Amino acid sequence: MNRNELIKLIDNHEDICNFGSSDDAPSAEWIQKAEKALGVQLPDDYKWFLNFYGGGDISGEEIYSIYCISFDEAVGGDIIYQNTIATNNVASGKLVLSNTDFGEEFYFKIGDGDQVYLEYGTKKEIYAENFLEYIEKRINSYL
């Protein structure tokens, strides 16, 4: 799925997709600050999502984003807060994108490309080949 196809899928399911807009997007400077704070380069498709939507959720399942406030003050679904302050996921080689109420955790493996992994209990597997496919699958899981 390419970005234009994903935009259409999201537009067709506004009842479950609660995303912002480019008005809500973090600036390039905030993205660079986040990458520095995390010590990783964020995948291009994830940065596109941040630039196009700013952030949001799928049926209440928040996709972590950049809140554009001091990282020491950010809480909730801020990707820096979730991965360095609330838990030290970065130290364990993960950059968590989302956690569900069912105990599922979706994440990038640091240094392992664009694939999104799913961890559920002791089970760990590749969930999607890239961030766009991750969004597509999460939307489809609620249809």
Give the model confidence (pLDDT) of 2-12 as tens digits: 999 999 999 99
Residue 129, pLDDT > 80, answer yes
Please provide the size of the chain in residues: 143
The pLDDT of 13-34, averaged and rounded, is 95
Tell me the domains of the chain and their CATH numbers.
3-141 (3.40.1580.10)
DSSP letter string, 15-28 = TTEEE--GGGPPPH
The pLDDT of 84-102, averaged and rounded, is 93
Q: How far is CA 17 from CA 1, 35, 50, 88, 113, in A?
A: 17, 26, 15, 29, 26
The pTM of this model reads 0.94
Cα 64 to Cα 16: distance, rounded to the nearest angstrom: 17
Residues 90, 38 contacting (CB under 8 angstroms): yes
pLDDT confidence bin for 86, thresholds 50/70/90:
confident
Predicted local distance difference test score (pLDDT) of residue 90: 94
Predicted local distance difference test score (pLDDT) of residue 42: 96
Cα 51 to Cα 92: distance, rounded to the nearest angstrom: 27
Host H or E run for residue 64: none
Predicted local distance difference test score (pLDDT) of residue 133: 98
Q: Is the C-alpha dihedral spanning 139, 96, 54, 127 positive or negative?
A: negative
> What tens digit of pLDDT does each residue of 29-84 get?
999 999 999 999 999 999 999 999 999 999 999 999 999 877 777 777 899 999 99
The pLDDT of 134-139, averaged and rounded, is 98
The pLDDT of 104-116, averaged and rounded, is 95
Predicted local distance difference test score (pLDDT) of residue 69: 79
